[in-house]
């Protein structure tokens, strides 16, 4: 961190200044969200002392076991964001339907979509978890937000970001003007600019995937991972595996160090591939961050930011991280190439 202290509030305001047409609504919306994040952070930091660990006994719409902290974070974000007058509706991984703004509060021109707590299976083991958010402009003409306002392509996001409750708490965000990271100074309760203009290395040495799913992958995915385990022509060494099981944490590490995170579909029934990660709350916001940092994000066949959502809890296969790594993965998937053919193609190019 340099000698000049820049709070996240000041940073957001300065970014807004480069848009003379901006009304300040997005700035104030993000400020409200930061407050909710600080409250969630306080609770996460007390996990183990206060009674916030463990499951609630319920399942969410995707069939995941809901943890107490999932519900706490869901409630905090909703309560911090329902009355600010900047949102027309919200949608969350933890709620089956769109979340209306209560009648008594004013409505605004933005939509907030979020994963209140990411990596929740890791909570009880004190492993890094996170929060992911995505903000869209309202499209429909009425006062209240509609499903149409939520089902927008990732490329139309007005802002996106995530928080990582790690050895320190960081907030990383973009409004389409690069990616900027802030670290919470707990002694003053402020997020301070610590990682200005984050750039993702063009190629990495790390791959992150739940390899236990090997038997569920299609052959192109297996070929790709086999290829990564062989000697990388760029380094003379195979790639390294790092997998935390919290998307935010795996993504954040690869964003800084370079590398690729993969969550391909379960292809055991080739007619019905089943993806795991949610387009609106996980894949799209992190894809905007990746691209804004010079990285890439793909389903293997399509840029994630171009995927048109058909439903709130739609899932997509995800390959995200360094541009060259994602491009090579796409070559495997699209062309169905085998490692030998890829090597031959690379040799021919060299």
Tell me the catalytic residues. 64, 70, 93-94, 115, 117-118, 282
Q: How far is the CB of 136 from ligand AHG (least distance, A)?
A: 20
Residue nearest to Mn ion (CB): 118
Q: Could you give the string, one character per residue 87-116, with x where binding to Mn ion holds by CB under 5 A and - elsewhere?
A: ------x---------------------x-
d(CA 260, CA 88): 35
Q: How far is the CB of 129 from ligand AHG (least distance, A)?
A: 8
Instruction: Return the number of the residue (304 or 328) whose C-beta is nearest Mn ion.
Output: 304
Nearest CA-CA partner of 293 in 204, 169, 229: 204
| DSSP 8-state class, residue 279 | I
Instruction: Return the number of the residue (245 or 339) whose C-beta is nearest ligand AHG.
Output: 245
Pairing of strands 159-165, 169-174: antiparallel
Q: How far is the CB of 203 from Mn ion (least distance, A)?
A: 26
Nearest CA-CA partner of 275 in 249, 314, 330: 314
Q: How far is the CB of 315 from ligand AHG (least distance, A)?
A: 11
The count of residues interacting with Mn ion (CB under 5 A) is 4
- Give phi and psi for 308, each to the nearest 5: -85, 115
| DSSP 8-state class, residue 107 | -
Nearest CA-CA partner of 76 in 163, 145, 153: 163
Q: How far is CA 60 from the centre of its chain?
A: 19
Helix/strand/coil (H/E/C) assignment for every residue in 161-186: EEEEECCCEEEEEECCCCCEEEEEEC
Residue 82 binds what, of Mn ion, ligand AHG, none (CB under 5 to 8 Å, by partner type)?
none
- Decide if 169 contacts 41 (C-beta within 8 A): yes
User: Does 250 sit near Mn ion (CB under 5 A)?
Assistant: no
Q: List residues binding ligand AHG (CB under 6 A).
A: 64, 93, 115, 118-120, 210, 245-247, 276
Instruction: Return the number of the residue (220 or 320) whose C-beta is nearest ligand AHG.
Output: 320
| Candidate segments 15-23, 71-79, 85-93, 162-170, binder of Mn ion by CB under 5 A | 85-93
Query: Which residue(s) pair with 182 in the sheet?
Result: 171, 193
- Decide if 180 contacts 171 (C-beta within 8 A): no
Length of the chain in terms of residues written: 350
Among 118, 223, 250, 325, binds Mn ion (CB under 5 A): 118
Instruction: Return the number of the residue (101 or 260) whose C-beta is nearest ligand AHG.
Output: 260
Q: How far is the CB of 90 from Mn ion (least distance, A)?
A: 15
The site for Mn ion (CB under 5 A) is made up of 93, 115, 117-118
């Amino acid at each position: 961190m340099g000698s000049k202290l820049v709070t996240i509030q000041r940073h957001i305001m300065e970014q807004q200044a480069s848009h003379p047409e901006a009304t300040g609504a997005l700035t104030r919306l993000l400020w409200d969200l930061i407050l909710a994040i600080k409250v969630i952070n306080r609770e996460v930091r007390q996990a183990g002392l206060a009674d916030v660990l463990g499951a609630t006994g319920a399942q969410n719409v995707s069939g995941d076991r809901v943890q107490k902290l999932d519900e706490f974070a869901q409630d905090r974000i909703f309560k911090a964001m329902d009355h600010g007058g900047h949102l027309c509706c919200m949608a969350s991984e933890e709620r089956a339907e769109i979340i209306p703004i209560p009648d008594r509060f004013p409505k605004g021109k933005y939509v907030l979509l979020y994963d209140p707590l990411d990596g929740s299976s890791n909570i009880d083991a004190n492993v890094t978890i996170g929060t992911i958010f995505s903000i869209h402009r309202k499209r429909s003409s009425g006062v209240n937000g509609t499903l149409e306002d939520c089902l927008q392509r990732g490329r139309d996001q007005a802002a996106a970001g995530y928080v990582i409750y790690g050895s320190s708490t960081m907030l990383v965000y973009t409004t389409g003007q690069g990616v900027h990271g802030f670290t919470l100074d707990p002694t003053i309760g402020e997020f301070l600019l610590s990682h200005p203009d984050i750039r993702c290395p063009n190629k990495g040495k790390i791959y992150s995937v739940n390899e236990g799913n090997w038997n569920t992958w299609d052959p192109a995915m297996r070929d790709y991972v086999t290829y990564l385990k062989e000697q990388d022509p760029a380094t003379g060494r195979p790639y390294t595996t790092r997998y935390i099981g919290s998307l935010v944490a795996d993504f954040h590490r690869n964003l800084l160090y370079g590398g690729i995170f993969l969550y391909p579909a379960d292809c055991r029934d080739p007619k019905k591939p089943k993806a795991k990660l949610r387009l609106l709350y996980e894949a799209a916001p992190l894809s905007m961050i990746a691209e804004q940092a010079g990285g890439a994000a793909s389903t293997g066949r399509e840029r994630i930011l171009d995927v048109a959502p058909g439903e709130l809890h739609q899932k997509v296969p995800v390959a995200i991280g360094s541009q060259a790594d994602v491009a090579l993965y796409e070559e495997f998937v699209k062309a169905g190439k085998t490692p030998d053919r890829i090597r031959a193609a690379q040799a021919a190019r060299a």
